[in-house]
């Protein structure tokens, strides 16, 4: 598992998943699966966005300015007030016009409705940015170092889905044509 996902698992597993599930009115296992699908997808999208110099500079600036990992100090505040978080704005930057398509696709894979998946993505976006920002700060990474980190993190998670293209058939362990559900099942178990 890559270091960013490992940090997220450490921060939001167990009781935090139960709180998220309670807030959203869903089963904790379903919440864990949805989070398990959302987290690597967000990392993949950030990696894609940082693959050009402009995107990399914008991401690095956002990390330095606003995302130092302190989000983990107030998880309860984020869970209780998703709409007041920076998640919506982060998602708009990460996915752009594809946000509704990505949310819809993930909701089907995770077994939740699109509104619930949207809330989970809004929770996870600042957490992923916080994990990346904290790592960037602790390792004193410049733009190039941050980009290298993201690339290595994505490579360390061989089950990354391609969110804008066809999914990797090798990842589809149950043969249903959808690797996201398989990824969600594996990572969801880690969050529980």
Per-residue pLDDT of 10-59, as tens digits, reads: 888 888 999 999 999 999 999 999 998 999 999 999 999 999 999 999 99
Number of structural domains found in the chain: 1
* Apex 155 CA angle, 104 and 50, nearest 5: 65
**Does residue 130 contact residue 141 with C-beta atoms inside 8 Å?**
no
67: left (phi over 0), alpha (psi -120 to 50) or beta: beta
Domain that holds residue 35: 3-191
Q: How many CB atoms lie within 10 A of CB 177?
A: 10
Per-residue pLDDT of 126-162, as tens digits, reads: 999 999 999 999 999 999 999 999 999 888 765 544 3
pTM of the predicted structure, to 2 decimals: 0.81
With CA atoms as reference, report the closest residue to 16 among 63, 80, 67.
80
Per-residue pLDDT of 91-126, as tens digits, reads: 999 999 999 999 999 999 889 999 999 999 999 999
Tokens of 12: 């939001």
Please provide the average confidence, as pLDDT, over all residues in the chain. Answer: 83
């Amino acid at each position: 598992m890559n270091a960013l996902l490992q940090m997220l698992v450490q921060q939001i597993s167990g009781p935090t998943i139960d709180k998220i599930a309670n807030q959203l009115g869903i089963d904790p296992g379903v919440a864990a699966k949805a989070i398990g699908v959302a987290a690597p997808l967000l990392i993949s999208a950030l990696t894609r966005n940082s693959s050009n110099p402009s995107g990399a500079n914008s991401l690095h600036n956002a990390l330095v300015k606003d995302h130092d990992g302190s989000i983990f100090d107030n998880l309860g505040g984020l869970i209780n007030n998703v709409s007041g978080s920076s998640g919506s704005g982060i998602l708009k930057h990460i996915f752009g016009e594809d946000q509704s398509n990505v949310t819809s696709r993930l909701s089907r894979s995770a077994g939740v409705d699109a509104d619930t998946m949207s809330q989970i993505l809004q929770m996870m976006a600042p957490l992923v940015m916080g994990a990346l920002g904290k790592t960037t700060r602790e390792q004193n990474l410049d733009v190039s170092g941050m980009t290298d980190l993201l690339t290595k993190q994505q490579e360390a998670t061989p089950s990354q889905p391609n969110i804008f293209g066809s999914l990797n058939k090798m990842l589809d362990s149950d043969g249903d044509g959808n690797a996201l559900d398989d990824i969600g099942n594996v990572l969801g178990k880690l969050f529980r």
